[in-house]
A and B are shown apart, each in its own frame.
Chain A
Amino acid sequence: MSGMWSFLANPHRFLVFARYAVPISYGVGLCLFAWSLYQALWRVPPDALQGGDIIRGMFIHVPSAWLCMGLYLGLAIASFVWFIWRHELADVAARAIAPIGATYTALCLVTGAIWGKPTWGTWWLWDDPRIMSVLVLFFLFLGYMALRSALETRQRAARAGAILAMVGAVNVPLIKFSVDIWSSLHQGPSVLRAEGPAMADVYLHPLLIGFGGQALLVSAMVLTLMRAEIFTQQGDRLMARRLGES
């Protein structure tokens, strides 16, 4: 594993890897996502307990909730790797993850509100710990992007961003705990439970496969942004060299 990471830490080898990985991830991800959407919209029976047809929204909402948490974890890990070993690629990754993470937290909040209206009778519930955690995550992503864009040089932006992401990551459990103290109308977790998933297979399989498809799409988007960033840097370097020669 560590061998693979240090192999990819070289931007040139990363570009070669990304050239193949990006189209494959987009292709496979789109296929899986399309299959799960087909299942969600036409095959899955409506669930009386969850407000009937609105259960079909779960196949967007739940993966986006998992992905935005995963993306923040990815941001924190990339920041840590950059801060300790100064792998330039880790910073490129952190920078690419932030806007996608912010988009997914927003998607999670919006789909959650749409699901909440028919099932809880309200678009928004301040008491719910999970809404609050995702909302805080949204602000952490926004703050990260605002801080990076406010600092002049790339190097400063990378260092400040890494410190902020790491401080944010150690705070996330505390934030999670503090909002969990608040009482909740939200149903308890129903997939990751000690006695196994409580969800019927007819929902669970499209959900997991759709999640896999969306995860592939997200990694393809991150890789695309990373490639664009590396190309921009190379372009700047070429431009600087040409200006130096003339």
Chain B
Amino acid sequence: MRPAPIRRGFGQALVEAWSGGAGSVLPFGFFSGTAMLVPFVLGSAPDRLASIGPGMLWLALALASLVTLERMFQADLQDGALDLWVQEPAAISLVALTKVMAHWIVSGLPLVLLTPLYGLMFQIPIDTTVPAMMAFGLGGLTFFLWGGVAAALAASVARGGLLIALLALPFYLPTMIFGGMTVQAGLEDPSFLFLLASTLFALGVAPPAMGAALRLAAD
């Protein structure tokens, strides 16, 4: 298999994720909006915010990952790129994985890098913020992998955003649980290893599933 389509796909996916899905602006806005509402609903006492803050940011990250999923493969289906990828034997899974990575870099990573800022706003102690960033980075990748499977399955459905959310959320659950535990207990806790395991599991299972679903969408 030639590496060129993968490299090409990665660059194209970065450009597309940036322009097509409003790039990081939309997830960032959603993430900030969700986070902003929480103190108004649950109260603004500093010790309370510090205790719920990490978990709340984790939830906001999971929800923000859903925002751009609908656009992940739809543009490729519409402009015919998908039909070309399907011609390459066995490459479709790798192309899909590349697209997920590009999406994660554009839409997920900025939110992870912003975590210290939100940590300050929510009075989260700094020694909790750093492990939280590790967990958010890994967990975010897992969210985008499972979300990618749902997006690929619903690629041919017009206005499939809510359908994608319904399909993806049950698969988020193990990562949500382990990530939430890691954020609370720190990186030395075994739950961090479980979080890693769930990420590796998603890396193994999601690309072939996305490949099969994209082949279906291209038919």
Q: Which residues of B, 161-219, contact A by the 8 Å Cβ criterion?
A: 163, 166-167, 169-171, 173-174, 177-178, 181, 191, 194, 198, 201, 205-206, 209, 212-213, 216, 219
CA distance A151 to B178 in the complex (A): 34
- Cβ-defined contact, A178 with B209, below 8 A: no
CA distance A181 to B153 in the complex (A): 30
- Cβ-defined contact, B170 with A150, below 8 A: no
| Chain B positions within 8 Å of A1 at CB level | none
Quick check: is B138 within 8 A (CB to CB) of the other chain? no
**Main SS of the interface on chain A?**
helix
- Cβ-defined contact, A146 with B166, below 8 A: yes
- Cβ-defined contact, A163 with B212, below 8 A: yes
| Chain A positions within 8 Å of B205 at CB level | 167, 170-171
- Cβ-defined contact, B153 with A160, below 8 A: yes
**In the complex, which of the residues B153, B166, B198, B212 contacts A178, with contact meaning CB atoms closer than 8 Å?**
B198
| Chain B positions within 8 Å of A152 at CB level | 156
- Cβ-defined contact, B177 with A174, below 8 A: no
Q: Which residues of A, 119-150, contact B by the 8 Å Cβ criterion?
A: 132, 136, 139-140, 142-143, 146-147, 150
| Chain B positions within 8 Å of A179 at CB level | 173, 177
Quick check: is A159 within 8 A (CB to CB) of the other chain? yes
Using A147-B153, A151-B156, A163-B216 as known contacts, say yes or no to A181 and B171 having CB atoms under 8 A apart: no
A 171-197 to B, binary, CB cutoff 8 A, 1 in contact else 0: 100110111011000000000000000
CA distance A104 to B174 in the complex (A): 23
- Cβ-defined contact, B163 with A146, below 8 A: yes
Quick check: is A168 within 8 A (CB to CB) of the other chain? yes
| Chain A positions within 8 Å of B153 at CB level | 147, 160, 163-164
- Cβ-defined contact, A147 with B173, below 8 A: no
Using A147-B153, A150-B160 as known contacts, say yes or no to A174 and B174 having CB atoms under 8 A apart: yes
CA distance A175 to B177 in the complex (A): 9
Distance (whole angstroms) from the CB of A83 to the closest CB of chain B: 8
Quick check: is B157 within 8 A (CB to CB) of the other chain? yes
Closest-by-CB residue of A relative to B195 is A178
- Cβ-defined contact, A143 with B160, below 8 A: no
CA distance A168 to B171 in the complex (A): 8
| A to B CB contacts below 8 Å, 21 in the list | A136-B173, A139-B166, A143-B166, A143-B167, A151-B157, A152-B156, A156-B219, A160-B154, A163-B153, A164-B153, A167-B171, A170-B205, A171-B171, A171-B205, A174-B201, A178-B174, A178-B178, A178-B194, A179-B173, A181-B177, A181-B178
